[in-house]
Amino acid sequence: MSTFSDRLSRAVAANGSLLCVGLDPVPERLPAGLARDASGVLEFNRRLVEATADLVCCFKPNLAFYAALGAGGWDVLAATIEAVPDPVPVVVDAKCGDIGPVAGRWAHAIFTELGADAVTVNPYMGSDAVRPFTRHADRGVFLVCLTSNPGAADFEAAAVEGGDRLWERVARRALEWNAEHGNCGLVVGATRAESMAGLRRLAPELPFLVPGVGAQGGDLAGSVAGGLRSDGAGLLINASRGVMHASEGADFAEAARAEADRLRREINRVRGVAQSG
């Protein structure tokens, strides 16, 4: 059985990349010449995928941007996922967080109906919210742990019983859930680079999905240096708007490729420095 970890490792090796490109389209921001509707979004996504698929380790569409398209949004997301070539996996960023049958339906929708390779899950309702996803042993589950937004301080950084901060407790539980099928990862914002090394020590083998590079002003160098696994991988460094909107003109796909390649090269430069050190 091919697992998410297998597919991700193949993409990292084949493309020499730890770059994840987010596909979060807004019809009003589509380049000139594309229809400002679901059909235009699909064309935009397909051209971005075609332009960058050999430069990335994965793609990450956020479910909300497709729900906002209305009745046809689900079909656009499914067609976008279908357009991604092997071996590049797709992580659907849904931050699911319900329990029991509802979580099971979300897992079925994302893994079986959409065919996504992995999903983001909010773990704050505990194992009841997580295991309906992790029981799909061939798919990946990235648990929200330490995020980029300022409001993360409200809960994620709070101290809990035993002296841990809440994000540390999430990481420890993720290790327990991961022991069942080896398919868990953590969402760790690039603006939290100062905590990245500590989190890597706590979870030395888990993959980290790292949003916040680019428009959110995350620390690319600090995230790579602190978050690399001992094998030089283990990071999915996400960039969305900076790649998607590298140009607002007819050359948007070419500009997206150029920006993705620049980011890939920069990540690999820092990666090389970190490994040599």
The residues annotated with a catalytic role in the active site are 95
| Residue 204 backbone dihedrals phi, psi, to 5 degrees | -65, -20
- What does the alpha-carbon distance between residue 238 and residue 66 come to, in Å, rounded to a whole number? 18
Query: How far is C-alpha 56 from the chain's CA centre?
Result: 12
What type of residue is 264? R
Sheet holding 19-23, edge to edge: 58-61, 19-23, 235-239, 208-210, 184-188, 140-146, 118-121, 91-96
Contact predicate 129/96, CB 8 Å: yes
Contact predicate 252/31, CB 8 Å: yes
- What does the alpha-carbon distance between residue 240 and residue 102 come to, in Å, rounded to a whole number? 29
